[in-house]
Amino acid sequence: MVQRKPLVAGNWKMHYDPTEGVALVRELRRRLVGLAGVEVAVFPSFVTLPAVA
């Protein structure tokens, strides 16, 4: 049987504008370097999506 990885996910609703959203994603990526055994997903607001994609 295949063991599944835990998934940690979150959204930020309308709390960030595109510039703040990009900064948040960059910081998350920096902090998650070397993290193993867990999948991470973020769900930005619609207005922030193009900037962080």
Per-residue HEC secondary structure of 6-48 comes to CEEEEECCCCCCHHHHHHHHHHHHHHHCCCCCCEEEEECCCCC
Reported as a single tens digit per residue, the pLDDT across 7-29 is 999 998 888 899 999 999 999 99
Average pLDDT over residues 38-47: 92
5 with 37: CB under 8 angstroms? Answer: yes
Average pLDDT over residues 29-49: 92
Phi, psi angle pair for 37, to nearest 5°: 85, 5
Q: Does pTM surpass 0.85?
A: no
List the domain boundaries for the chain: 7-52
